[in-house]
């Protein structure tokens, strides 16, 4: 399939051939769902913790005798039934991450890229950099290509100048072509792809 390539001034300059096996596949909602759940689970810190009756402070002495007081039977003040007692089945530190096969991830990224093409939200732009590393210089380029709304810029490499310039733009997320993020791609209203990055995506995910 052919896709237009735009200059940094927002003008159409040529076309590029994109692989149908990457940018024009059947969209799988299930694969996208699994990829996003995997990313969110892997990002969870999992440090929530509560104390059981064995861990809370308190005496283990029986608060009153078993019979004859008229009160309910009680064993110790650390019981979960008492204020200040332990927690029953409370959370403990754990690892929420799980493994997702590489083939499943790649298929999910193909579905996401195809979805953005289908929705006309993916735009190829000729390679550029921001040598000054200044936010205003990057904004002057982006305003010719996309509106100021949640967007993704896919880079051809780890360009430190562009990353520095875009670090202060709250609505822009920058991703390398080989380190995509399903959550950002799905919820990004615009996806800008540098021309070389598009070619790299062709070869990497085909």
Nearest-angstrom CA–CA distance, 194 and 6: 10
User: What backbone phi and psi angles, to 5 degrees, belong to 14?
Assistant: -170, -175
Nearest-angstrom CA–CA distance, 42 and 163: 24
The pLDDT confidence band at residue 141, using thresholds 50, 70 and 90, is very high
Domains with residue ranges and CATH for the chain? 2-28+100-205 (3.40.1370.10), 45-95 (no CATH)
Q: Is the pLDDT of residue 157 over 90?
A: no
Q: What is the pLDDT of residue 79?
A: 94
162-177 average pLDDT score: 94
Q: What is the pLDDT of residue 94?
A: 96
Q: And the tokens for 17?
A: 């051939």
Using alpha carbons only, give the angle 117, 181, 113 rounded to the nearest 5 degrees.
15
What is the secondary structure of 97-116 as a DSSP string? -----HHHHHHHHHHHHHHH
The pLDDT confidence band at residue 23, using thresholds 50, 70 and 90, is very high
User: In a 10 Å sphere around its CB, with 0-12 CB exposed, 13-18 middle and 19+ buried, how is residue 191 labelled?
Assistant: buried
Nearest-angstrom CA–CA distance, 186 and 118: 13
Q: How far apart are the first and last CA of the chain?
A: 13
Of 128, 188, 122, 190, residue with least CA distance to 162: 128
> Which one-letter DSSP state was computed for residue 179?
S
More confident residue, 162 or 206: 162
- Read off the pTM: 0.84
Q: What is the pLDDT of residue 206?
A: 84
Q: What is the pLDDT of residue 159?
A: 83
Q: What is the pLDDT of residue 158?
A: 85
Of 91, 92, 74, residue with least CA distance to 83: 74
Q: What is the pLDDT of residue 90?
A: 96
The pLDDT confidence band at residue 1, using thresholds 50, 70 and 90, is confident
- Share the mean pLDDT of the chain: 94
Percent of the chain at pLDDT > 70 equals: 100
Sheet of 172-176, strand order: 12-17, 2-6, 122-125, 190-194, 151-155, 172-176
User: What backbone phi and psi angles, to 5 degrees, belong to 53?
Assistant: -65, -20
Q: Encode pLDDT of 51-97 as tens digits.
A: 999 999 988 899 999 999 999 999 999 999 999 999 999 999 999 99
């Amino acid at each position: 399939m052919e896709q237009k390539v735009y200059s940094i001034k927002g003008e159409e300059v040529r076309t590029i051939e994109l692989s149908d096996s990457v940018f024009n596949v059947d969209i799988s909602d299930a694969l996208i769902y699994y990829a996003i759940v995997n990313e969110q689970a892997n990002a969870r810190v999992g440090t929530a913790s509560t104390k059981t009756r064995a861990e809370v402070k308190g005496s283990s002495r029986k608060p009153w005798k078993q019979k004859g007081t008229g009160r309910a039977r009680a064993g110790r003040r650390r019981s979960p039934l008492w204020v200040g007692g332990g927690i029953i089945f409370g959370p403990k530190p754990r690892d929420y991450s799980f493994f997702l096969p590489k083939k499943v991830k790649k298929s999910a990224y193909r579905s996401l890229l195809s979805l953005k093409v289908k929705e006309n939200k993916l735009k190829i732009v000729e390679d550029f950099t921001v040598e000054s590393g200044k936010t205003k210089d990057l904004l002057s380029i982006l305003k010719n290509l996309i509106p100021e709304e949640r967007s993704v810029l896919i880079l051809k490499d780890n360009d430190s100048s562009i990353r520095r310039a875009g670090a202060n733009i709250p609505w822009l997320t920058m991703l390398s072509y080989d380190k995509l993020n399903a959550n950002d791609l799905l919820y990004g209203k615009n996806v800008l792809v540098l021309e070389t990055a598009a070619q790299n995506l062709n070869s990497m995910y085909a």
